[in-house]
Amino acid sequence: MLALALSLAPALAADEPVMSPWGQLQVFTTLWDQDVSPTADPASYGDPEADPGFQLARARFGFTGVLPMRSDTAPRVDYGLSLGISTPYDALRLSDSGVSMVDGYGRIRLSPGVGETAVSLGLVKVPFSREALMSSQDLVFMERGVAAESLTSVRDVGGLLRQEIDLGEGDDAPLVAVSVGVFNGNASFLGDQDPGVMGSARIELAKGQTYRTWDPAGGVAYGVAASTILNSELATRTFAWNADGFVRVGRWSLLAELGHSTLTPTDTTLFAPDVFAKTGLMAWTAQTTWFQPLSDAEQDVPGVEIALRASSIDDDTGIRDNGDVLILHAGATVRSVLPMVDLGAGFIHREELAGASRPNDTIRIWTQLRPRRR
């Protein structure tokens, strides 16, 4: 993947607005893909059926900003807006080559004493699944595992409240964070299309930066969280839960997630439900990485991150079929191989755990041009 970015604007005085444009471009280069048939490869979870060639995985452009503050103790108001295109995660998803909104939110933040309080309104990330909450700029394989992609939408339109409770002094002290949100539940930013809404909640104990797998400074970071979602659509009700944990010690990191969703048909008089009987979906991810810095620079430190990830879903726990899928990623990413450029390569093995096995492995190069990291 390739990424295009503009550096952050210089910090201004508290009574002056700040707006920072940014861009991101990610490109997949498929060197080899194992097909059942060159013209009609069977679709499966996590398989985009990409033949050797190039794929524009993500292209985004937008800006973030901070409104003027009347004093250093006044609430801070920031906002973000971005547009972009992306290719479907796999051949089972609907393809949409048009430009759409990625983020569009306003947020107010204040510090009442126990920890920061933040209220967001607009198109934001749903507080569910650690890997889903990680920025696509920081993903070691430049894509999420099949578990995070299958349980829920990453973004939705709604309101989100996040309350942090500091458990010590200093920026590196542990904290408890509670997030509660209400969303449309239909992944559309044009309005709610059914009478129900989606509620989501997440509670986390964390220390340090737990949404990036590497830190050139080393040190220790950890986080453990539980999330839940209840989405009441017109013909289907979805209840999902997720538990995740992350630890980074020096250059090594470990991430693990386990999630489950239950789909239940409800009022089927007007619309067909997503399922015709109560259906459970189970998903999990385990990932480990090792980061080797290549410089002692203070910002955008170059380094090599080696990673191995296993991710799996069972789209119907009541039966064993080709919906039981395990996907293994193994590879490495050179962070900041050039300023604001990441380059990686790896091997992807996809295994149908039941039903008919399909040879559909891939060797891929990913390239990214993105904003400068702090």
> Residue 374 falls within a domain, yes or no?
no
Note the pTM of the prediction, 2 decimals: 0.90
The reply to whether 174 falls in a domain is yes
91 in Cβ contact with 325 (< 8 Å): no
**β-pair partners for 25:** 59, 369
> Closest by alpha carbon to 62, among 105, 14, 16?
105
Please indicate, yes or no, if residue 7 is contained in any of the structural domains. no
pLDDT of res. 40? 57
Calpha distance 81→61 (Å, rounded): 9
Q: How many domains does the chain have?
A: 1
CA dist., res. 328 & res. 337, Å (int) = 25
pLDDT at 47: 81
Spans in the chain with pLDDT lower than 50: 1-13
Domain extent at residue 303: 18-369
354 within a domain of the structure (yes/no):
yes
Alpha helices in the chain (DSSP H): 130-133, 146-151
The answer to the question of residue 5 being in a domain is no
Provide the pLDDT for residue 192.
79
Q: Kindly report the CATH number assigned to the domain that includes residue 347.
A: 2.40.160.10
Position 11 scores a pLDDT of 41
State the pLDDT at residue 271.
72
Give per-residue pLDDT as tens, 142-186: 999 999 999 888 899 999 999 999 999 887 899 999 999 999 998
42-96: pLDDT as tens digits: 567 778 888 899 999 999 999 999 998 777 777 999 999 999 999 888 877 766 6
CA-to-CA dists, residue 72 to 15, 64, 111, 170, angstroms: 9, 20, 11, 18
* Domain annotation covers residue 333: yes
